[in-house]
Amino acid sequence: MGSTITEKILAKHSGRKKVVPGDLVNAEIDVIMCHDVTTTPAIDMLEERSIDKVCDPKKIVVMPDHFIPNKDIKSAEMVAKIRRWVKKHNIENFYDLGRHGVCHALLPEQGHVTPGKTIICGDSHTSTHGALGAFSTGVGSTDLAAAIATGELWFKVPETILFNLTGKLPFGVYSKDIILYIINRIGVDGALYKSMEFKGSVIDELTIESRMTICNMAIEAGGKAGLINPDQKTIDYVKSRTNDEFELFSSDEDAKYEKVYDIDVSKLEPIVAFPSLPSNGKKVSKITENITVDQAYLGSCTNGRIEDLRVAAQILKGKKIASETRMIVVPATTEIWKQANKEGLLDIFMDAGATVSTPTCGACLGGHMGILAAGEKCISSTNRNFIGRMGSPKSEVYLGSPATVAASAIEGKITDPRKYLLVT
C-alpha cells in the first residue's frame, strides 16, 4: 500500500520510512512563521520558563500583520515586544512595516515555502502553503512556543480525504467558488483533523495563487492541512523566488484515502456563503433575496493576491460603486500593492470610489480598518463569516470571490459577477 503526500512528508521529518494515519510522530519543523497576535503569548511562555533561546534563527520568519499599522497602545506594545525579541535572537527574516504583508501571502511570495517542507504558525489558515506541496498547519501559542524552542513538534498523522476535481471550470467561476462548494457539500466539520488533498485536471489548470485560495480554506471544513501535489507550475513558482534546494513528494497511485470525492465542476456557478458559516453556500442563481450591502471587502490571505485584484479591477474599470456602499481594497503584501499600483489597478479602484489600504489583516478579523456596525452587511473575499467576525455581532458577512465582491459593490447588493464579466 502506497502513501499520501502528507504521510510521506511526516515520515521524512520524523526519521521514519513510513507512517500511517493515527501514528504519533515527533517531526522536525522547517519553517516557524510568527505573526503578532499569537507570537507574543508564545514569547511570554518561553520567558516565564527562562527559555532564552530559539532553535534556529534561520527557521523563524516573523511578520506583524493583524494589527499593522498599530491600531492602539496595546497593539503597539505587542509589536514592540516582537521587535525586541527578533533583535535579541538575531532573526533576520523579519518583515516589519514597509516590507510587511499578510503572513500567508508573504511567506510564499518571499521564497520561504518550498515543496516537502513542514511549516507551522499560530494561525489556522497556515494550510495555505500546502498549495506548494508542503505540510503546513496552524497551531496554538503553546505549540508555537515549543517549536520555537526545540524546532520540533508532535503530530498525530491525519487521514487524508481526496478531492478529485474534473471538468471545465465555467466562465466567471473561480477557485473561491470551488472551495465554497466543497465546504457546503461536506460541512464545517466534514474533514475534521483530516488532510484534504486536491487533485485532478481542474487543479492542474489553476494558477498557484488560485490553488492557495483552495488550501487556505481547508480549515473551514475542519481540515488539519490542505495539500496539492507539486507539478511544474509549483517548481517554476518556487525557483523564481528562492535558490534553496527542495524535495518533491507526491501521493502514490495506490495510496489509501479515508474518502474520495469525485467532483465535476462543469456546472458550478458563483457561490455566496451566507451568514454565519462558510458552509452556508448558495449558487447565485438560487439567491432570490435582494441583499443590500453596506460594505464590500476585497483582500485577506484568501483573496488579496495580484490575480484577485486584476479580476476585480476588470469589473470595476470605468464604473462607480453604489452610493450607499463603501468598498475597501487591501492588497495582501507590500509587493502586491506595488505591482497593483504599477498596473494602474489602484487608480481603477479609487476612481470607482473605493479606498485602498496598506496590507493588513485588520478588517478580516474585526480588528481595525473596516469594522462593521450593528445591522450592517458586508460581501467579503475573506474566509470566515462567523457571528461578529468583522465587527458587531449584529452585523452580517457574506463570502464570495473577488469578482462577486466587485460586482456587488457596483450594484450595492449581492450580484452575479458574470453580468459584468460578460460585458467586458
Query: How far apart are alpha carbons 337 and 210 in whole angstroms?
Result: 18
Closest CA to 106 of 384, 337, 335: 335
Q: 317 and 224: one domain?
A: no
Query: How far apart are alpha carbons 90 and 78 in whole angstroms?
Result: 19
Average pLDDT of the residues in 256-261: 98
- Number of structural domains (the chain) is 2
Which of 224, 240, 263 corresponds to the end of one domain?
A: 263
Q: 239 and 280: one domain?
A: no
Q: 46 and 170: one domain?
A: yes
CA distances from 259 to 6, 195, 252 (A): 15, 11, 15
What distance, in Å, lies between the first and last C-alpha atoms of the chain?
51
Query: How far apart are alpha carbons 89 and 55 in whole angstroms?
Result: 10
Cis status of the peptide bond prior to 402, with omega within 30 of 0: no
Instruction: Give the DSSP H/E element, type plus range, for residue 144.
Output: helix 141-150
Which of 263, 290, 317 corresponds to the end of one domain?
A: 263
Q: 227 and 287: one domain?
A: no
Q: 178 and 315: one domain?
A: no
* Burial of 325 per CB tally in 10 Å (0-12, 13-18, 19+): buried
Residue type for position 313: A
- pLDDT tens across 175-192, in order? 999 999 999 999 999 999
Domain limits for position 278: 271-421
Q: C-alpha grid cell for residue 70?
A: 498599530
Q: 208 and 319: one domain?
A: no
- Strands 281-283 and 271-273, bridge-based pairing: antiparallel
What CATH number is given to the structural domain containing 228? 3.30.499.10
Number of neighbouring beta carbons within 10 Å of residue 374? 9
Average pLDDT of the residues in 25-41: 97
Backbone angles phi, psi at 96, to 5 degrees: -85, 180
Q: Note the residue count of the chain.
A: 424
Q: 168 and 290: one domain?
A: no
Q: C-alpha grid cell for residue 412?
A: 450595492
Q: Is 421 left (phi over 0), alpha (psi -120 to 50) or beta?
A: alpha
**pLDDT classification of 422: cutoffs 50, 70, 90:** low
Q: 184 and 236: one domain?
A: yes
- Give the mean pLDDT of the chain: 97
Average pLDDT of the residues in 125-134: 98
- pLDDT tens across 371-392, in order? 999 999 999 999 999 999 999 9
Q: 109 and 228: one domain?
A: yes
Q: 35 and 66: one domain?
A: yes
Number of neighbouring beta carbons within 10 Å of residue 242? 14
- pLDDT tens across 71-127, in order? 999 999 999 999 999 999 999 999 999 999 999 999 999 999 999 999 999 999 999
Q: 289 and 309: one domain?
A: yes
CB-based contacts of 50, cutoff 8 Å, min separation 6: none
Which of 214, 241, 263 corresponds to the end of one domain?
A: 263
The vertex-176 CA angle with 352 and 203, nearest 5°, equals 130
Query: How far apart are alpha carbons 279 and 183 in whole angstroms?
Result: 5
**pLDDT classification of 1: cutoffs 50, 70, 90:** confident
Q: 134 and 203: one domain?
A: yes
**pLDDT classification of 424: cutoffs 50, 70, 90:** very low
Number of neighbouring beta carbons within 10 Å of residue 171? 8
Q: C-alpha grid cell for residue 92?
A: 533576520
